[in-house]
Chains A and B, each alone.
Chain A
Amino acid sequence: MDVRAYLPILMLVAFVVANAIMMLAVSHFTLRPRPTPVKQTPYESGIPPVGTAHERFSVKFYMVAMLFIVFDIETVFMIPWGTYYHQLSCNVPLANGACPASHVSFFGLGEMLVFIAILLVGFIYVWKKGALQWD
Chain B
Amino acid sequence: MSGAFTPVMTGSADPAAPRPVTPKAVPYRNGAVSPSAAALRAQFGDAIRRVAVVWGETTVVVEPGREGEIVRWLHDDPSQRYDYLSDVTAVEFRDVEAPIEVVWHLRSLPFRRFLRLKVELAKGGPLEVDSVWPVYKSADWLERECYDMFGIRFRGHPDLRRILMWEQYREGHPLRKDFPLRGRFSRSEQLRQALMANPEARYSMEELSIADAFDDLPEEIRHRLATGERTGE
**A residues within 8 Å of B by Cβ?**
47-48, 50-56, 58, 135
Contact = CB atoms under 8 A, between A and B. Distances in A.
A48 B205 contact: no
B167 interface: no
Interface range on chain B: under 10, 10 to 19, 20 to 34, or 35 or more? 10 to 19
B200 A50 contact: yes
Secondary structure of the A contact surface, majority rule: loop
Interface string B218-233: 0110001000010111
Contacts of B233: 51-52
Contact of A135 (B199, B203, B219): B219
A51 B208 CA distance: 9
A53 B233 CA distance: 8
B217 to A, nearest CB: 14
Interface in B186-233: 198-200, 203, 205, 208, 219-220, 224, 229, 231-233
Interface of B: 198-200, 203, 205, 208, 219-220, 224, 229, 231-233
Contact of A51 (B198, B199, B229, B231): B231
20 contacts: A47-B198, A47-B199, A47-B200, A48-B198, A48-B200, A50-B203, A50-B208, A51-B205, A51-B208, A51-B231, A51-B232, A51-B233, A52-B232, A52-B233, A53-B232, A54-B232, A55-B232, A58-B224, A135-B219, A135-B220
Contacts of B224: 58
Contact of A56 (B198, B203, B205, B229): B229
